[in-house]
Amino acid sequence: MSTAVSPLAPLHVPEMPAIAGVRLATAAAGIRYAGRTDVLLVLLDEGTAAAGVFTRSKCPSAPVEWCRAHLKKGKARVLVVNSGNANAFTGKSGRDACKFTAQIASRAAGCKPEDVFLASTGVIGEPLKAQAFEGVMEGLVARAQAGDFLAAARAIMTTDTFPKVATATAKIGKATVTINGIAKGAGMIAPDMATMLSFVFTDAAISSPALQSLLKDGADDTFNAVTIDGDTSTSDTLMMFASGQSGAPRIARASDPRLKGFKKALHAVLANLSEQIARDGEGARKLVEIVVEGAVSKASARRIAMSI
């Protein structure tokens, strides 16, 4: 996580409303650095639908493999994300770390391990010491509450210079539903998302097959249209969770005309997050260096970058 903020960082950070059926907590587990939050736990109400889009790398990380294997069920109760270690190129030890993390999270949350989804970001090729989660998991579950998506976005940062959040609302029937998203990713950005993580939450009631279709379509011209340095990594993860707690009618098909406004709002959130990732790429870092050296003002650097 950088201390110099990209000159292309958003000028305003939106207020992120709470979403019914979604509770969050963060902790410092010492995965790689002492004294900084590096674990995010999200508790999801029973019946929450899940969808996901992942890397096309032929060497996916252990968490990506775990999520793919359990996404077929289409339901989720817990999301655990860590920064500092990507748990990639770690072989059997990486798979064991996923299994161990899911077991302690499910035990603390009172669900099954297959209801737990995992994501990791950070250094590649080093074993993830999942025992570190054991010291914080019960506390995370106990503290989890609706609300602080900005803290959640900070907990998953690695080389990012600012937390990335976005929100939107839409009508489904007569009910208003909310969509919140967080993301991280600054280096190694390429089509199919590269080294980025993003998690989107809504209180809409949408079936998992419909949610999967909506997410895939939304990613095609947002996250999958971003490129900075041509690299593709092992850990690309974009997941969406629908708690169904808004009071809106349940939607079973992505083609349902009642989703027209929701599709537009979802696209806006995905586009906003993917743009923030691009703004925080390594080209922006060079502008940061120029600003720090005093060659141009922050405002001038912003104008230069936006004109490229």
CA distance 150 to 18: 11
d(CA 250, CA 123): 41
* Identified catalytic residue from 195, 202, 234, 237: 195
CA pair distance 245, 221, nearest whole angstrom? 29
Whether 3 is catalytic: no
How far apart, in whole angstroms, are the C-alpha atoms of residue 257 and residue 266? 15
Q: Residue 163 and residue 36: Cα distance in Å, rounded?
A: 14
Strands of the sheet containing 49-54, edge to edge, are: 49-54, 237-242, 197-202, 175-184, 164-172
- Give, rounded to a whole angstrom, the gap between the first and last alpha carbons of the chain: 25
**2: amino acid identity, one letter:** S
Tally helices (H) and strands (E) across the chain.
9, 9
Instruction: Return the active site residues.
Output: 195
